[in-house]
């Protein structure tokens, strides 16, 4: 148990150290931060996340247990996000928070940084474990489905912003739709061993290129975070009590709910292969897309930026603590 805590703590620290170059570049004004953030965002979403999906699926031999766990991870992610989103919205109503902040706090509390932080975190926690990353990509697909539907509704209070089309037609989801049948047909990089000759070398070359792109997610995501942190005024971050509400929901309530649900599931099935994924995914800080959506729908984007920053900094402590529950479920 202590070893898992230590590994988790070191992994979080290593991730945040990767943000230092971006922070320094941003502070020195060595790059146009706005253009750099836009470029890195496009690279991560349209190029690197699909490569992570293909790298994990095509390096995993078909297994019916893995397929069942894919379904469970998908449903778990959707249900827990939906539950936390609903409870967050109810809490905001009880606290009578101002209208512009209600949706931002509820959204920030429900949606964690699964794609840009959880995946590289798990890559550090379990190097070369393709199955764990495979489950993480499934969480990203479920995240996108919930973000473009219930998430947008909670943020805006308007059903017109629900977009099932965008929930399905995005790079991570499309790459999953392509990779899943290949996994089920057992068509993967592992078959290269039986090909021999030039064909084997070609497949192994593609495998290596896929791995190299997949491994870029962590460094580029953290450089992106560093650039955003460089634009923050830290004196203003901790003065807004609302960020503590969103951070508490996301970093404490959400993972503890995941622990409780996982423990309940363990009474009926073997949760050991997916416990780390379920708890780590739930323990991630507020997702960066709350900033994007808040700006898009003219909500309190300044509050959204504070939520992301504060929850990310506090998660240095909370993520390793929440991992202490993994062996218990």
Condensed to tens digits (0 to 9), the pLDDT of residues 202-258 reads 888 999 999 999 999 999 988 988 888 887 777 777 777 888 989 999 999 999 999
DSSP category for residue 269: S
Contact 297, 155 (CB under 8 A): yes
Percent share of the chain, pLDDT over 90: 47
Q: Is 190 exposed, middle or buried (0-12, 13-18, 19+ CB in 10 A)?
A: middle
Bridge partners, residue 112, by sequence: 286
Contact 36, 160 (CB under 8 A): no
Quote the distance between the C-alpha of residue 24 and its chain's center.
Answer: 24
Give pTM, 2 decimals: 0.92
DSSP 98-121: -HHHHHHHHHHHH-B-IIIIIHHH
CATH class, range 2-328 = mainly alpha
pLDDT of 110 strictly over 90? yes
**More confident site: 136 or 30:** 136
CA 143, CA 111: separation in Å to the nearest integer?
7
Condensed to tens digits (0 to 9), the pLDDT of residues 271-321 reads 999 999 999 999 999 988 888 778 777 787 788 888 888 998 899 899 999
Lowest average pLDDT, out of 12-26, 141-155, 169-183, 224-238, goes to 224-238
CA 290, CA 151: separation in Å to the nearest integer?
9
* All structural domains of the chain with their residue ranges: 2-328
Q: What is the pLDDT of residue 69?
A: 97
DSSP 161-204: G--HHHHHSSHHHHHHHHHHHHHHTT-SGGGGGGT-HHHHHHHH
Lowest average pLDDT, out of 16-30, 74-88, 125-139, 154-168, goes to 154-168
């Amino acid at each position: 148990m202590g070893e898992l805590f230590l590994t988790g703590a070191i992994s979080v620290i290593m991730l945040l150290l990767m943000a230092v170059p971006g922070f320094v570049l941003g502070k020195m004004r060595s790059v146009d931060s706005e253009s750099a953030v836009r470029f890195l965002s496009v690279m991560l979403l349209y190029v690197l996340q699909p490569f992570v999906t293909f790298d994990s699926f095509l390096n995993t031999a078909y297994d019916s247990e893995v397929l069942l766990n894919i379904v469970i991870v998908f449903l778990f992610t959707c249900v827990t996000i939906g539950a936390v989103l609903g409870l967050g919205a109810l809490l905001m109503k009880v606290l009578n928070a101002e209208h512009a902040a209600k949706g931002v706090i509820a959204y920030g509390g429900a949606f964690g940084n699964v794609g840009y932080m959880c995946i590289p975190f798990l890559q550090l926690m379990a190097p070369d474990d393709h199955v764990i990353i495979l489950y993480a990509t499934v969480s990203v697909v479920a995240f996108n489905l919930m973000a473009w539907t219930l998430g947008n509704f909670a943020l805006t209070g308007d059903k017109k912003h629900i977009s099932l089309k965008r929930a399905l037609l995005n790079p991570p989801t499309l790459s999953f739709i392509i990779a899943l049948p290949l996994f089920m047909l057992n068509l993967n990089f592992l078959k290269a061993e039986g090909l021999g000759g030039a064909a084997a070398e070609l497949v192994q070359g593609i495998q290596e290129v896929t791995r190299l792109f997949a491994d870029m997610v962590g460094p580029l995501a953290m450089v992106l975070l560093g650039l955003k942190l460089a634009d923050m005024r830290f004196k203003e971050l901790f003065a807004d009590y609302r960020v503590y509400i969103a951070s508490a929901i996301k970093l404490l309530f959400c993972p503890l709910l995941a622990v409780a649900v996982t423990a309940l599931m363990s009474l009926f099935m073997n949760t050991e292969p997916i416990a780390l994924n379920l708890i780590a995914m739930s323990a991630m800080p507020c997702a960066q897309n709350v900033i994007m959506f808040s700006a898009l729908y003219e909500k309190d984007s300044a509050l959204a930026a504070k939520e992301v920053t504060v929850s990310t900094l506090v998660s240095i402590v909370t993520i390793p603590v929440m991992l202490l529950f993994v062996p218990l479920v």
